[in-house]
Chain A
Amino acid sequence: MTGPMLSVSELTAGYGRITVLDKISIEAGRFGNVGLFGPNGHGKTTLLRAVSGLLKPRQGRIVFDGEDITEATSRAIVKKGLIHVPQGNTLFPDLSIADCMALGAYSPRARPLEDENREKVLALFPKLRERWRQRVATLSGGERQMVSIGTALMSHPKLLILDEPTLGLAPKIKDELCRSVLEISKSGVPLIVVEQDVEFLLELSQHLYFLNHGQVETEIKPGESLGHSEIMAMYFGH
């Protein structure tokens, strides 16, 4: 494929009278993984919610895998293989891990591959096997994040969106999870990742967008190198 897998053009979206995204344009799935970063409250999560159909955009166009999905429902978008792991890890507190994995394979595209994908998820996160019948609410933060990502992998993603996967995790668990995310990427699933840990983001993604005030302030394409200190300068102003 020559074009991007996902292209968002001139997207405007918000909540009520508040406009969060102001004619934002990004591309993903062309140059490896995409990293989104920027201060909190500047539209990263809103952008992801609009892409996965949770929030109807006011203007603009979203194309995934050659089809316009701007007006599509989340269900249709999941069916096409664009899978979004939302921020926080409070998915289904009263379901067991087994239940969550079954839900992940709910979409007709993923159902025939359920057994195969389950094995992949358990190979990636062996801890989940030990707690297979346990309620999600009884798991640790890191384990819950594994369940969230595992549920998404059960949906057999063509493109996987991760919204701050390491948020609030202890350093050791965070390292573990970062390695797992890198492994997912190596297995051939392109990612869009929002992350505050700049080191991890630089290691993972080849294509970066710095979001500020609902717009792309800086785009860093592959080959254009960027150091930690320059990113810090973006966060805190020059």
Chain B
Amino acid sequence: MGGTADILFGGLFQGSLYAMMAVGLALVWTTIGVFNFSHGVFMMLGAYFAWQLVTWGLPPFLAFPLSVLAMAGMGWVLQASVVRPLIGRSNLVLVVVITTLAAGSLIENGALEVWGPRSKQIPPLVSGNVMLGSIGVSLHQIAIILVTPLALGALWLFLNRTRLGLALRAVAQNEDASRLVGLNVTMLYGLSFGIAAALAALAGIFLGGYRFMSPVMGVDPLLKALIVVVFGGISSISGPIYAAYLIGFFEAIASYYFGLYWTPALLFAALILTLMVKPEGLFTPNRSRGLA
């Protein structure tokens, strides 16, 4: 019984973190059509910003939302500085890989300069532990499992039930037609980057609450998020969410039965097999770019 609980809990927990990261990446891809390689840096920066605010004496319930908001602003600024000037170029996708990687590297080393290499930790969302059946888990982890669907649900409602969300979905599908109904495409691009950065910051705050933080803490999650979006299909934001939880459970099962060392190899084997059978991603319906 302990095994099942372990797998269930581990899968939900990892899946939540992956979903949080991957959705932002997918959002930027669907709206602007570029991959943001500085996405992991926002996760790191969000966690460090929250840490700084808490160290200055702000209570976490203020520090965390402030940090998320600040990262939304940072995302907007980054988009305006290294993505927007390049829009319209035919080799946009590749150029933006370079510019976002460069910006990410600058910010990463900037963080190292400002906060130093020593590992830090931010307070958990909820402190304390509980016994869940036969396994002990922290309330922080449970909070993450519960907050993630809420955040993603809010994003879904925003995209599907508001006029601004409708505008974002429209831009994702046809830029010229969006201009012809009077949408502010530049603003919507900024917004999509801002939302993505805010989600990454939230993931960073989640992660910084139970693991030690370092300036390179975003590298690994970015790689995972890339795997998730490739696995789930990059044409929507629901695909990556399903894929995130699927990979979370896959890893939990693999590490339980085959051990931690085999897990990455098994995951990549599964990924390669999936892409051989369904190169457009596991949850891609028959259509072009678009948010749903």
Chain A contact residues, CB within 8 Å of chain B:
52-54, 73-75, 78-79, 83-86, 90-95, 99, 102-104, 106-107, 137, 151-152, 155
Q: Does B277 contact A (CB under 8 A)?
A: no
B169 partner residues in chain A, CB cutoff 8 A: 92, 94-95, 99
Contacting pair B180 A52 (CB below 8 A): yes
Q: Which residues of A contact B167 (CB under 8 A)?
A: 103, 106
The contact sample of 8 A-B pairs, CB cut-off 8 A, is A54-B179, A86-B177, A93-B290, A94-B173, A103-B166, A103-B167, A103-B183, A137-B287
In Å, the complex CA distance between A149 and B176 comes to 15
Does A107 lie within 8 Å of B181, measured CB to CB? yes
Given known A-B contacts A93-B287, A94-B287, A94-B290, A103 and B180 have beta carbons under 8 A apart = no
B182–A78 contact, CB under 8 A? Answer: yes
Contact of B170 among A92, A107, A152 (CB under 8 A): A92
Determine whether the beta carbon of A106 is less than 8 Å from that of B287.
Answer: no
Q: Across the two chains, which residue of chain B brings its CB closest to A136?
A: B173
Quote the shortest CB–CB distance from A73 to chain B (angstroms): 8
The minimal Cβ–Cβ distance linking B238 to chain A, given in whole angstroms, is 12
| B174 with A155: CB separation less than 8 A | no
Assess whether A90 is in contact with B182, with CB atoms less than 8 Å apart: no
**Given A94-B173, A95-B170, A106 and B181 contact (CB-CB distance below 8 Å):** yes
Rounded to whole angstroms, the CA-CA distance of A90 and B180 in the bound complex is 13
Query: Which A residues touch B292, using CB under 8 A?
Result: 94
B179-202 toward A: CB 8 Å interface, digit per residue (1/0)? 111111000000000000000000
Q: Is the CB of A86 within 8 A of B180?
A: yes
A85 to B180, CA, bound (A): 8
Interface residues of B in 157-181 (CB under 8 A from A): 163, 166-167, 169-170, 173-174, 176-177, 179-181
B288 proximal to A (CB < 8 A): yes
Rounded to whole angstroms, the CA-CA distance of A189 and B180 in the bound complex is: 18
Q: How large is the interface on B (under 10, 10 to 19, 20 to 34, 35 or more residues)?
A: 10 to 19
Whether A106 touches B174, Cβ cut-off 8 Å, given contacts A93-B288, A94-B292, is no
Partner of B179, one of A53, A92, A94: A53
- Report A74 CB to chain B, min CB distance, Å: 4
Q: Are B170 and A78 in contact (CB under 8 A)?
A: no
Which 7 A-B pairs give the minimum distances between C-beta atoms? A78-B182, A74-B179, A94-B290, A107-B182, A91-B177, A92-B173, A75-B182
Q: Would you give the shortest CB distance from B30 to chain A, in whole angstroms?
A: 10
A79 to B179, CA, bound (A): 11
Contact yes or no, A92 B177, CB < 8 A: yes
Residues in A neighbouring B183, C-beta threshold 8 A: 75, 103, 106
Known contacts A54-B179, A74-B182; A106/B163 CB under 8 A: yes
Assess whether A99 is in contact with B181, with CB atoms less than 8 Å apart: no
CB distance from A51 to the nearest CB of B (A): 11
Beyond A95-B170, A155-B182: 4 further Cβ-contacts under 8 Å? A52-B180, A73-B179, A95-B169, A107-B182
Complex-state Cα separation, A97 to B151, whole angstroms: 28
* Inter-chain contact A84/B290, CB cutoff 8 Å: no
Alpha-carbon distance between A102 and B170 when the two chains are bound, in angstroms: 11
Q: Report Cα–Cα, A125/B163, bound state, in Å.
A: 24
Taken together as a complex, chains A and B put the C-alpha atoms of A94 and B170 apart, in Å, by 9
Chain A contacts for B163, CB-based, 8 A: 102, 106
Task: Kindly supply a per-residue 1/0 record for chain B positions 214-231, scoring 1 wherever the CB is within 8 Å of any chain A CB and 0 otherwise.
Answer: 000000000000000000
Query: Which residues from A are CB-within-8-Å of B174?
Result: 90-93
Residues on B with C-beta less than 8 A from A54 are 176, 179-180
Encoded as 1 (CB less than 8 Å from any A CB) or 0, chain B from 68 to 80 comes to: 0000000000000
Question: Which residues from A are CB-within-8-Å of B290?
Answer: 93-94
- Specify which chain B residues have a CB less than 8 angstroms from the CB of A91 in the assembled complex: 173-174, 177
- Complex: chain A residue closest to B180, CB-CB: A84
A92 cross-chain contacts in B, Cβ below 8 A:
169-170, 173-174, 177
* CA distance in complex: A52, B288 (Å): 26
Chain B residue nearest in CB terms to A88? B177
